[in-house]
Amino acid sequence: MQGNRQCYFSAIKHFFSLPSIDVLIFVEHVDRELEIARQIARRIQSSRNTVAILHSRLDIPVLSLLALRRIPIKVGIYPSAVLPEKSVIYHTLRSIPCHIDLHWEQLLYKPGKETKRPRGVALSDSFYHIAWDEAFADFLLSSGVKRENIVITGNPAFEILLQLREKQQEYKKQLAEEFGLSSQSTWLFLPMNYAWAFLRQKDLQYRKQLGYSQAILQEFPQYAKQCFKAFVHFVLCMKKKFNYNIIVRPHPSVTAQQYEEAFLKISGLQRLPEGILITHQKSAREWVAASDIVGSSWSTVAYDAFRIGKPAFLFTPYPRPEWLEVPWYQELVEVRSCEDFEDKYPEIIKRRYSGDINSHIGALERLSTFVLELVRDNKEKTGCVSFPSDQSMKRMWMRKWVASVMMRTMIPLKLHRIFFSRWMALERDLMVPEVYVAYNQE
């Protein structure tokens, strides 16, 4: 814990010595994005450019330091920038020449698609958009993004998963030792997407601002809660019937403690049975690589596992609303219950993905090459980090600055569990800001 704080302050000091930053990358979910950000940073650094990686919620004070020093920056890269006008981060980087939206979520259901549609400043010439395939590029075009501002790279996260698919035994042994699981048993990995079952009224109000209809705001939480209750009984039955090691991974916005408390309340148990693990530790990619079977409610993690050759299924105890349907669901076997899983197990094992995965190979290289091109094309252009000028943004900036400082202080000391339990989902995101200095500046 002390070491983490020392590393953090050491990283902050490093920012004071930087004359400029060519590329500034923001990370929202560490397990999903940090490894990709690092690989991009190394590639860009090797061409004599300086890259920094910050957390979008925990590093507002670092942005303050950059603003005070008026650090020149060429390119800003964001995990999602649907409404830049309402983003404190965008307002501090509004003067830089280039912005890139990575669009980390691209396999979207209908309401999600509307809320993720680029708007406002995101449609300007300074904004570039990453698409994994032509289908998402078409969605961006229909939103008003210019074709020349869309770059099709393939999915860099899926490319990393492809690299891990031959390492099952290595990861299984490693994770078994770390979490006290049997490496000899069958592992069932269940990354579940029941975030809507845990939303507070404040969270629903925020989603209303994003564009969700009142009907969705009423129906989705109820459907998610109904499915989650069935899921608890499904897990217990699967453990009893098959004696699998079952690894449950909540949505990133929900903590493992919230899941466990709800699990015990619904089941009436005092503690989780041995061999059932609810965790956010390690990345979903590592668990997919180590596991024998992957199932989910409607998370794309199950689809990614299916595409690399893992047996995969969707747990659908009740019919999905029409608005929640996505074409890729049809490619996976749907399971209603423990007994239904047993009946359909031969089909789950037999079914294979028939599409093309080669388009994602080289995604990291294509994305890095595009960023490098932007840096070179804007060699003489920079913009400085600056404090927001709009009054409402100034107030939001101060709130986020205070929250960032408190999170950076409380999370290592575990004090947030007493005062701000909603911050527990950020424990796993307590990354240290990273700087990759250009070789010619070392």
Q: How far is CA 160 from CA 37, 348, 360, in A?
A: 12, 24, 10
pLDDT at residue 69 in the model = 87
Do 32 and 172 belong to one domain? Answer: no
Which helix (DSSP H) or strand (DSSP E) does residue 151 occupy?
strand 150-152
Q: What is the pTM of this model?
A: 0.88
pLDDT at residue 423 in the model = 55
Do 106 and 185 belong to one domain? Answer: no
Q: Is 379 exposed, middle or buried (0-12, 13-18, 19+ CB in 10 A)?
A: exposed
- Answer yes or no: is pLDDT of 238 > 70: yes
Six-digit token pair at 88? 């404190």
Which of 350, 376, 400 is where one domain is finished? 350
Six-digit token pair at 241? 């019937």
Do 119 and 86 belong to one domain? Answer: yes
Alpha helices in 74-191 (DSSP H): 88-92, 110-115, 134-142, 156-164, 168-179
Do 21 and 110 belong to one domain? Answer: yes
The percentage of the chain sitting over the pLDDT mark of 70, rounded to a whole number, equals 93
Assess if residue 161 is contained within a domain: no
Is the model more confident about 223 or about 419?
223
Instruction: Provide the residue range defining the domain that includes 106.
Output: 2-154+362-441
Cβ neighbours for 333, distance < 8 A, ≥ 6 positions apart: 312, 313, 314, 344, 347, 348, 351
Task: For the chain, give the mean pLDDT.
Answer: 88
pLDDT band at 4 (very low <50, low <70, confident <90, very high): very low
pLDDT digits (tens, 9 = 90+) for 102-146: 999 888 888 778 788 888 888 888 899 999 999 999 999 999 999
Do 173 and 149 belong to one domain? Answer: no
pLDDT band at 86 (very low <50, low <70, confident <90, very high): confident
Taking the C-alpha atoms of residue 172 and residue 178, their distance in angstroms, rounded to an integer, is: 10
Cβ(189)–Cβ(249) below 8 Å:
yes
Do 372 and 262 belong to one domain? Answer: no
pLDDT band at 442 (very low <50, low <70, confident <90, very high): very low
DSSP, collapsed to helix, strand or coil, labels residue 185 as: coil
Question: Considering its fold, how many domains does the chain have in total?
Answer: 2
pLDDT at residue 425 in the model = 59
Q: Is 390 exposed, middle or buried (0-12, 13-18, 19+ CB in 10 A)?
A: exposed
Residue 268 backbone class (left: φ over 0; alpha: ψ -120 to 50; beta: rest): left
Do 292 and 425 belong to one domain? Answer: no
Assess if residue 160 is contained within a domain: no
Alpha helices in 283-337 (DSSP H): 284-290, 300-307
Which of 300, 321, 350 is where one domain is finished? 350
Do 248 and 343 belong to one domain? Answer: yes
Do 123 and 176 belong to one domain? Answer: no
Do 196 and 341 belong to one domain? Answer: yes
